[in-house]
Amino acid sequence: MCGIAGWVSYDADLTEQHATIDAMTATMALRGPDASGTWVDRHAALGHRRLAVIDLDGGVQPMEFVTANGPVVLVYSGETYNFIELREELTRRGHRFRTSSDTEVVLHGYLEWGEGVAEHLNGMCAFAIWDAREQKLVLVRDRLGVKPLYHYPTPDGVLFGSEPKAILANPLARKAVDIDGIRTAVFSVGQGQAIWKGMYEVEPGTVVTVTASGTRTRTYWSLRTAPHTDDQRSTIARVRELLDDTVNRQLISDVPQCVLLSGGLDSSAITGLAARKLTAKGDRLRTFSVDFVDHVDRFKPDVFRTTPDAPFVKDMVDLVEPVHQQVVLSAEDLSDPAVRRAVITARDTPNALGESDISMYLLFRAIRGESTVALSGEAADENFGGYPWFHNELRTLPIFPWMAAVLGAQSANPAVMPFTAEALAALDLENYLGDQYKTAVAAVDHLDNATRFERQMRFMCHMHLTRFLRMLLDRKDRLSMAVGLEVRVPYCDHRLVEYVYNTPWKLKSFDGREKSLLRHAVKDLLPASVVQRRKSGYPTMMHDNRYSGTLLIEAKEVLADTHNPLFGLFNREWLRSVVEADPAKITHGEKLLLDKIIDMYYWIDGYSPELSLS
């Protein structure tokens, strides 16, 4: 796992711009703490920061292959899990390798298949190739968008980077955020996280090619609708087969690794599969979980969290017997301003989840002291239909169901949230959210004979995999890479995603519960308590008055900054009314809004963006 950056200019001589490419690359230092490198030619400059995971001595980047017609140079972030098979195939085709890294396999794959190398890769990766033979830049992002990649067109070329901060380090990029960016920052609906004007994500499953004559975009993968012909027994068996294979592939590493264990079905399934495979090799799995001081005693169930994690984590640990560590956080840990700033810097955006992001960052920071790679249960809910709104009336509303759930938790309507009157008018949230929803509906193909209900559930799965999951993957990548931890996501294997996506909803819920297929595919690996546990989201301290008290202290500091641009967006009097109210009467929704406003305040303070309501 690494961070990449670069600059292509067809009119300038970039050999005079070493300082700029060095500055762009340096912003990726936390993503790649092990090594740094740049490659500069007249019209292209590439930078790389490395987190060494496979072939620690080889795999140094930028990686160059010299041809008679000019060099081909690669900067690469991520992992290719089928690199061993690809190396064997490429060797049969006459290629010779100097290292055992997956990076070199990707480079030779490009030399063999050109831009079509993307279709050959199974993994999570984002990379850039400068092909001097044709004076072109090729940007590639993995199918599900696990690894981030951004680009910023310039009059004579392009800037790119793993994160916006790499691009913003170049003086050609403006730190401007217009009304579209503000909408994304406040109400992201999964259309991408590039809030900066003129900056774009390389979309998941996409190749972007830049030449002197312009930019071309090609989608090499998307969710496609197909009939499902397997019966229930065969479907369960196939899900298990795919999970076995993808976990086995993702356990390949030359550095210490672990599994993130929450005691839920998703992470416990990965834990059980990984433990079985490592035990067979004579190794012992390591697992980590997060909890809060006195959390079980103070736990209050809500629409997102039905039970505390700790008892179920204990049951799984007792069964599998890994080397387990529980990371216990306090309200003081979550309230450290330096930590909140680090989280906002990691994400480059105020579109954060406040306290939940902070606790995840602290968990990853603790894990990094022991492991470099972690496997996560992310994406199981999107694949198998795990969220409550897959099974209740929210799925029928003409709004993204996760937004409906959040607004319900906040007891809020987007039209009456605490914005200034000017900001509310400019945001035009009702039309914005409606248009985004219609766009998502139009993107889905259906089988000719599908019933209305089947079409509805296919759309539910599609928008979660293509929109909601993008936000969660971006969050997990940014927070983990900010401490130099590589998080792998077995449920994002495209073979599994394609197979489960086309499985009819009646099979996904055949036992009357969420995630029926997954539960029955892995139940032999789990304790009964975990098999029967209902979906419970990532834990929070938001209900805990100890955290609420510190949140109010931060909010008072924000309120005291009378000239901050924040108050061109948010209503100062609303904030004052909440801060001055009886702390015991502040609602859960108001706390969530305070968290978001404080995040926005820290983001403005750290980035000094040019904000515009037009």
Residues labelled as active-site residues: 2
Instruction: List Cβ neighbours of 64 (8 Å cut-off, separation of 6 or more).
Output: 39, 71, 72, 73, 74
Q: In this structure, what are the phi and psi dihedrals at residue 363, rounded to the nearest 5 degrees?
A: -60, -50
- Closest listed residue to residue 3, CA positions, set 482, 608, 586: 482
DSSP lists the bridge partners of residue 206 as 219
In 10 A of CB 96, how many CB atoms? Answer: 7
207 vs 220: CA distance, rounded Å: 7
Decide if 53 contacts 254 (C-beta within 8 A). yes
Taking each helix axis from N to C end, the angle separating 429-442 and 452-463, rounded to the nearest 10 degrees, works out to 110
Cα end-to-end distance, the chain, whole Å: 38
β pairing state of 206-211 and 200-201: unpaired
DSSP lists the bridge partners of residue 259 as 287, 375
Decide if 383 contacts 496 (C-beta within 8 A). yes
DSSP element (H, E) containing 339:
helix 337-347
84 vs 201: CA distance, rounded Å: 29
User: How deeply is 153 buried, as exposed, middle or buried, from its count of CB atoms within 10 A (0-12, 13-18, 19+)?
Assistant: middle
419 vs 303: CA distance, rounded Å: 26
The first and second tokens of residue 20, run together, are 């700029």
Residues in the chain: 614
Q: In this structure, what are the phi and psi dihedrals at residue 66, rounded to the nearest 5 degrees?
A: -90, 125
Please tell me whether residue 561 adopts helix, strand or coil conformation. Answer: coil
- With helix as H, strand as E and coil as C, how does 196-244 read? CCCCEECCCCEEEEEECCEEEEEECCCCCCCCCCCCHHHHHHHHHHHHH
Instruction: List Cβ neighbours of 84 (8 Å cut-off, separation of 6 or more).
Output: none
